[in-house]
Amino acid sequence: MTAGAPRSKLAKTVAIAVAGTSIEWYDFFIYGTAAALVFPQLFFSADLPPLVALFAAFSTFSVGFIARPVGGIVFGHFGDRFGRKRALIAALMTMGIATTLIGLLPGYATAGAAAPVMLVILRFAQGLAIGGQWGGAILLITESAPNNQRGFYGSFAQAGITVGVIAANLVFLVVNGALSPEDFMAWGWRIPFLFSVVLVGIALYIQVRLEETQLFQQLQKDAKPAEPKPRSPVVEALLTYPKEIALIAGAFMALQVTFYLLLTFVVAYGSSATGLGMPRSDMLIAVMIGAALMAPAIVLCAALSDRVGRRVVYIAGAVFLGIWSLLFFPMLETKEFHWIVIAISGGFIGVGVMYGPQGAFIVETFPTKLRYSGASLGYQAGAIIGGAVAPIIATALLAEFVDTFAIGIYLALTCVITIACVLALKETYRNRLV
């Protein structure tokens, strides 16, 4: 048990973890932007109809989500056995290498069917990395934070996701604006991916400068060498906390579905000739504005949850998103830029209200010896049932009904599921980490 690390050490931990998290999410999100704007034309046969090619590109995007629980298992085991710091470094290195290699891949015209196969393999590696990164970053911060400010400090790791979104869209916006459409499709799209080599440098910096958390160090000291080695932390977490892991996954559903529709499907639908036909730059700018507004929502709502509890704040966000879901597409379909910004920003703010307290909420549910495994499993399972399938389901609903109302209903139903799961979880904000 700890009352928190010294303020100077905590500040350094927060800064380094946020930097790593931001670039890690940047790497994960540039794939989503490229899947919406580039990959349907470059990595699949030109004979495919545009909607089918988009569906195929979003399917490769989903592979990253399928890999996330696998990454949660691998890095969760590693992090609970050998430390949060080591697991985070390994995850950052994996992501940096995989993303850089995507930027070097040949397209379908050069490599044929091997091109999408290689793309899927590297996307799977990205998913493994993100599956392990979140647990390492959030635990490094929350296990070092004062007991009554875990939500607030943990929110900075959560806010790294907004930096990743903004950076990913900004880089694509700059590259797209600086190059002709032909050059952008030929080689310009590779620039955002090659930039991720910076992540490898951050991982090496963490290796040298960052210390392990006091809670994990105490756990290691308390371990008795003569005792038989316990079973895998992942297995123990699944056997001891199956209900909590399942409910956390369900609680994460509305947040994930909304976030990844805003990030990928909405950009593709808004900028395509078969959708709204808006300029690509307008959609990317709207996403950046929404993500920028999401950041203060994350921090403020996380701090509020330290005072009033995680559940009430989380549920408030889900209720807001449920109402917003039915208004979103009508605002989008006005084709007026200011309404598009309002629609997208409202979605991101609702996500931020939930995402702020989420990190501490999940961390506080598990004991130190199983925390990396339990938190990662719940978080990443929610990513599969939410974010992995959201763009695919939305594309299928649009193809089936030729109308976006069904997508709004889909979003609203996920909010109902999330509220039910949060109500079934116990409040945790007064828990002490042990």
Per-residue model confidence (pLDDT) at position 228: 57
Higher pLDDT, 223 or 90: 90
Q: Provide the pLDDT for residue 243.
A: 96
pLDDT at 6 over 90: no
CA distance 281 to 185: 15
The CATH code of the domain at 7-215+232-424 is 1.20.1250.20
Rounded distance, CA 268 to CA 265, Å? 5
Predicted pLDDT of residue 229? 59
Number of CB atoms found within 10 A of residue 11's CB? 12
Q: Give the C-alpha separation, 252 to 381, whole Å.
A: 9
- pLDDT tens-digit series, residues 152-201: 999 988 888 888 888 888 888 888 888 888 898 888 889 989 988 877 77
pLDDT in tens, 107-127: 888 888 898 899 999 999 998
Q: Evaluate whether 206 touches 16 at the Cβ level (below 8 Å).
A: yes
Coil vs helix vs strand at 315: helix
pLDDT attached to residue 324: 95
More confident: 424 or 92: 424
| 274-317 pLDDT, tens digit each | 778 888 888 888 988 998 999 999 999 999 999 999 999 999 99
Asked if residue 415 has pLDDT above 50, the reply is yes
The answer to which of 6-10, 175-179, 327-331 has the lowest mean pLDDT is 6-10
Residue 209 has pLDDT above 50, yes or no: yes
From the DSSP assignment, how many helices (H) and strands (E) are in the chain? 21, 0
The whole-number pLDDT of residue 223 equals 65
Burial bucket for residue 221 (CB in 10 Å: 0-12, 13-18, 19+): exposed
Between 168 and 425, where is the model more confident? 425
Band (pLDDT 50/70/90 cuts) for residue 322 is very high
434: pLDDT strictly greater than 80 = no
Mean pLDDT over each residue of the chain, to the nearest integer: 86
Res 325: pLDDT = 93
Average pLDDT over residues 209-235: 71
Residues 356 and 327 sit within 8 Å (Cβ to Cβ): no
pLDDT in tens, 35-47: 877 888 888 777 7
3-state secondary structure of 227: coil
**What are 236-279's pLDDT values in tens digits?**
999 999 999 999 999 999 999 999 898 778 888 888 777 788 88
The answer to whether the CB of 140 falls within 8 A of the CB of 88 is yes
Task: For residue 430, give the nearest of 244, 298, 251, 306 by alpha carbon.
Answer: 306
Residue 87 has pLDDT above 60, yes or no: yes
pLDDT given for residue 1 in this prediction: 41
pLDDT at 304: 97
